[in-house]
Amino acid sequence: MACRRREEFYCDKGGGGCGKYFWTWLRDDMFGNYTVECPSCGHHHFRVITEGLVTQDRHNERMGKAEVIVSMKSTIRETPWMDDPDFRRSTMKAYQGGGMRSAN
């Protein structure tokens, strides 16, 4: 059974996108050309995915026909997930300050 993981995309205004962030879900058995569609503006992001990981490569003929991945509108964000204050707070709580404690 394939595992799924969340991947964040940025729809770059410089490339004709809307400047928003969104999530899509990828499976670890995904391999080949994929077109990820922004749920905000419909802009297409052409990527090669290998073992469920997005590479920096663009589509190529060796990888075959592209599948389209459509993301949900509910994942659209103005800020990246890692910069979200709620995410940062939950990370700090999980980390609990870290550091070594003396055994007095």
Question: Where does the pLDDT of residue 94 fall: very low under 50, low under 70, confident under 90, or very high at 90 and above?
Answer: low
Q: Is the pLDDT of residue 96 over 70?
A: no
Contact 66, 59 (CB under 8 A): yes
Q: Is the pLDDT of residue 17 over 80?
A: yes
Largest CA distance in the chain: 64
Residue 82 CB burial class (10 angstroms; 0-12, 13-18, ≥19): exposed
Domain that holds residue 44: 4-95
Contact 25, 54 (CB under 8 A): no
| CA gap 97, 61 in Å, rounded | 49
101 inside domain: no
* Number of domains present in the structure of the chain: 1
70 inside domain: yes
pLDDT tens readout for residues 18-39: 999 999 999 999 999 999 999 9
Higher pLDDT, 86 or 30: 30
